[in-house]
Amino acid sequence: MSKVKKKLLIGFFRSYFNSLSYFSKERAANKAFKLFVSPRKGRVRENQRAFLEEAKAQVLIVDKLAIQTYHWPGYKETILLFHGWESNAFRWKELIAKLQEEGYNIIACDAPAHGNSGGNILYVPLYQKIGKAMIEKFNPSVAIGHSMGGMMLLFNQHLNPISSIEKLVCLGAPAQLEGIMNNYYQLLGLNSRLQNGMESFFQREFNFKTTEFTVANWADQFKVQGLIVHDIRDKVIPVSDAKLIHKHWKGSSLHLTQGLGHSLKSAEINQMISEFITT
């Protein structure tokens, strides 16, 4: 999408949502949330298809959604991989190759509304249901999540601390919902009336305020070992989020990179993950 089209689209939604909020704050909040959780990309591209087709495994039905899983067999422990927003399982290609060489049993999935999975929307509590189902089915000793996938794993660890997982790896993971929502409000220029409506929506639908949905409220109780990786110049999720997670997660180590951005794709990171899993 060109910058001009993006500005026009943002302007349209700003005018529409803010105007609607004066007629029905609840309806405006519902529509603003729907836009917030609707990805624009992340489906499988042509250059990704062959790699994923070779590993396609069973489709899991979770919360009435068809979730595509992928399997790269190995004789060692099982590792689960969870991608982030507007991505899919292909993002793990290089890491999968590294872990395959070392004999690990690797399973990934496409999140709802991404890759080959069903659905049209994605948000962390929904993703957590998928993560919980995957963990219960495949009994992994290690789980790795990028961005939203990392936050989902931390949320699931909070809700389900007793599981097979011994180690968690979080790459570029956000620590708190409040910052994400504030960015969304600022991007669209949503008025205070609609922002209040959004806060009421979260309380009504999920039984929490955006200020309450933070790893700082969960991680003190974590028993699992953790590796947190974040780039100091990440333009999507600030490095302060990684530092906050590390501060409260006593069993974690923090590694900061420079120049890898939010994607954190590099042989260096893959080697670091391998060493963390092995030790």
pLDDT of 8 over the 80 cut: no
pLDDT at position 279, please?
86
User: Residue type for 27, please?
Assistant: R
Q: What is the pTM of this model?
A: 0.96
Question: Predicted confidence band at 1 (pLDDT cuts at 50, 70, 90)?
Answer: low
pLDDT at position 11, please?
85
What's the burial of 155, exposed, middle or buried (CB within 10 Å: 0-12/13-18/19+)? buried
Q: pLDDT by residue (tens digit) across 116-161?
A: 999 999 999 999 999 999 999 999 999 999 999 999 999 999 999 9
pLDDT at position 78, please?
98
Q: pLDDT by residue (tens digit) across 164-213?
A: 999 999 999 999 999 999 999 999 999 999 999 999 999 999 999 999 99
CA distances from 171 to 71, 139, 216, 224, 234 (A): 21, 21, 17, 16, 11
Average confidence score pLDDT of the chain: 95
Question: Predicted confidence band at 2 (pLDDT cuts at 50, 70, 90)?
Answer: low
Q: What does the alpha-carbon distance between residue 135 and residue 164 come to, in Å, rounded to a whole number?
A: 8
pLDDT at position 6, please?
77
Q: Where are the domains of the chain?
A: 38-176+214-278
Q: pLDDT by residue (tens digit) across 73-130?
A: 999 999 999 999 999 999 999 999 999 999 999 999 999 999 999 999 999 999 999 9
> Is the pLDDT higher at 10 or at 48?
48
87, two tokens: 């991505």
pLDDT at position 16, please?
87
Give residues with Cβ within 8 angstroms of 62, minimum separation 6.
Answer: 129, 130, 133
pLDDT at position 3, please?
67
pLDDT of 42 over the 60 cut: yes
pLDDT of 48 over the 60 cut: yes
Residue 244 C-alpha from the chain's centroid: 17
pLDDT of 257 over the 80 cut: yes
The CATH homologous superfamily to which domain 38-176+214-278 belongs is: Alpha/Beta hydrolase fold, catalytic domain (3.40.50.1820)
Q: What does the alpha-carbon distance between residue 38 and residue 133 come to, in Å, rounded to a whole number?
A: 22
